[in-house]
């Protein structure tokens, strides 16, 4: 990094003390764009906070020397630190800018699924063929009956079978090659975040449909790419893409549209339907218009889970049987509204409990149901994952929607 550049540290960084040595801290990336924590001395951590985008390396050197009573601190010391932080993706610097401009998004969920494509295919096949699975999908002649499907985005080892139930229905009941994936946003501070990047997985590269994105942007307006880097660590799109690639790699080339949606808590707190929020209403209308201008069939994949309970998510007590029973009952109330394609009723069940169970699939499910108003839904699979010691529980379902 040149001395005249003004390095700037990224948002989403926190410092955690090094328990083994009080003279050091670990800088941790909460957005998971950087793959591992960086260990810095307290002195280096102080210098990092000077990387505010307004000081050059020479300015930082001069300020640091004033703090140590004029002691000579070579410029190379700060250049090496800046290079180290840039390589770790903790600065808004050359490496991060390279990632931002790259046309292909690299996979971030290796470990949730196998890196070897043949092992991955075997892993996915097992979810279909295991005793509780739906069986392998058949190459039917679909009559375009299915228009959308809710899928989980929980880890495969916890919810892979639920993915299989949903994707079997998708494969058998739509002839679409264009999949608009609307997922829960876990890392973006924006309400809606698009990316034009293609998605790479061990099964190849899923191409993103640029023409559809152009139409969606034209109808929604600016602002959909403000936090595009949030797609890099995001799993809610990638986990759906892997299943789509597995199903269609021998049948037809598919294209995707990756859109993530942030919290609707303001609508819940305000006691109003989400569509009455200006940006949400504008996105619903933009999706409707984009579909009308698209000549081919579209299948909408909703990527969202249901309840999140336990200390992992901020609850005071471990998950116990009475809470799980109540949560299951509330989940069923939500899913009955989904089966009736009653988008207002679906939202109201969640709003009435103040979303205290953290239904992360609310935003993407509401957007798709309100935009396209299917006539009915069908629950294909439901389950609850419960940690053995009650540390967490996540519930999830796969639901198919029909015109």
pLDDT at 234: 93
Q: CB of 240 within 8 A of CB of 304?
A: no
Beta strands in 139-247 (DSSP E): 148-151, 178-184, 192-194, 198-201, 204-208
pLDDT at 1: 66
Q: Which residue has the tokens 């989403």?
A: 12
pLDDT at 47: 86
Q: What is the pLDDT of residues 340-359, one digit of tens each?
A: 999 999 999 999 999 999 99
Assign residue 119 a region (left: φ > 0; alpha: ψ between -120 and 50; beta: otherwise). alpha
The CATH number of 103-402 is 3.40.830.10
What angle in degrees, to the nearest 10, is found between the helix axes of 343-352 and 321-339? 160
* Interval 224-251 mean pLDDT: 93
Domain ranges of the chain: 13-100, 103-402
pLDDT at 89: 85
Q: Is the pLDDT of residue 140 over 70?
A: no
Strands 13-17 and 148-151: unpaired
Q: What is the mean pLDDT of the chain?
A: 92
pLDDT at 8: 84
106-110, 364-368, 392-396: the lowest-pLDDT one: 106-110
pLDDT at 21: 87
* Interval 145-151 mean pLDDT: 93
Sequence-distant (6+) residues with CB within 8 A of 345 are 337
Q: CB of 87 within 8 A of CB of 95?
A: yes
- The token pair at 38 is 């960086």
* Interval 2-22 mean pLDDT: 82
Strands 255-261 and 204-208: parallel
Buried b (16+ CB within 10 A) or exposed e, 296-327: eebbbbbbbbbbbbbeebebeeebeeebbeeb
Q: What is the pLDDT of residues 66-114, one digit of tens each?
A: 887 878 888 888 888 888 888 888 888 888 888 888 999 999 999 999 9
pLDDT at 66: 85
pLDDT at 61: 86
Q: Is the pLDDT of residue 130 over 90?
A: yes
CA atoms within a 13 Å half-sphere pointing along the CA-CB vector of 287: 27
pLDDT at 112: 93
CA dist., res. 170 & res. 176, Å (int): 9
SS (H, E, C) 42-88: HHHHHHHCCCECCCCHHHHHHHHHHHCCCCCCCHHHHHHHHHHHHHC
DSSP 91: B
Closest CA to 338 of 330, 326, 127: 330
3-class SS of residue 179? strand
Q: What is the pLDDT of residues 171-188, one digit of tens each?
A: 999 989 999 999 999 988
CA dist., res. 304 & res. 301, Å (int): 10
pLDDT at 10: 83
pLDDT at 334: 97
- The token pair at 201 is 């997985």
């Amino acid at each position: 990094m040149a001395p005249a550049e003004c390095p700037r540290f990224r948002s989403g960084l926190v410092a955690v003390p090094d328990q083994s040595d009080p003279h050091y801290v670990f800088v941790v990336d909460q957005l998971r764009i950087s793959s591992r924590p960086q260990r810095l001395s307290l002195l280096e951590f102080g210098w990092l906070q000077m990387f505010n985008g307004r000081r050059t390396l020479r300015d930082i050197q001069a300020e640091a020397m004033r703090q140590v009573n004029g002691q000579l601190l070579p410029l190379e010391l700060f250049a090496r630190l800046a290079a180290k932080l840039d390589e770790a993706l903790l600065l808004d610097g050359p490496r991060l800018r390279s990632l931002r401009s790259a046309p292909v998004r690299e996979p971030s969920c290796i470990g949730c699924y196998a890196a070897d494509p043949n092992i991955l295919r075997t892993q996915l096949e097992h979810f279909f063929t295991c005793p509780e699975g739906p069986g392998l999908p058949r190459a039917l002649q679909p009559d375009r009956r299915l228009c959308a499907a809710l899928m989980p985005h929980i880890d495969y080892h916890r919810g892979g079978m639920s993915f299989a139930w949903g994707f079997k229905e998708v494969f058998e009941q739509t002839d679409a090659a264009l999949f608009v994936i609307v997922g829960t946003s876990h890392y973006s501070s924006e309400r809606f975040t698009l990316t034009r990047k293609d998605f790479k997985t061990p099964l190849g590269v899923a191409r993103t449909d640029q023409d559809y994105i152009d139409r969606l942007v034209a109808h929604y307006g600016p602002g959909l790419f403000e936090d595009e880097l949030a797609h890099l660590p995001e799993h809610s799109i990638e986990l759906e893409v892997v299943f789509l690639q597995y199903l269609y790699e021998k049948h037809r080339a598919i294209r995707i549209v990756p859109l993530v949606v942030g919290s609707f808590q303001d609508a819940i707190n305000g006691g109003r339907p989400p569509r009455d929020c200006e940006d949400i209403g504008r996105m619903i209308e933009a999706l409707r218009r984009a579909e009308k201008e698209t000549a081919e069939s579209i299948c909408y994949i909703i990527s969202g889970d249901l309840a999140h309970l336990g200390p992992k998510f901020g609850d005071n007590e471990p998950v116990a049987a009475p809470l799980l029973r109540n949560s299951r009952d509330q989940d069923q109330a939500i899913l009955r509204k989904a089966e009736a394609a009653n988008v207002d009723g679906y939202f109201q069940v969640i709003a009435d409990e103040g979303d205290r169970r953290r239904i992360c699939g609310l935003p993407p499910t509401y957007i798709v149901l309100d935009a396209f108003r299917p006539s009915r839904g069908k629950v294909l699979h439901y389950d609850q994952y419960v940690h053995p010691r009650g540390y967490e529980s996540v519930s999830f379902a796969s639901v198919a929607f029909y015109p």
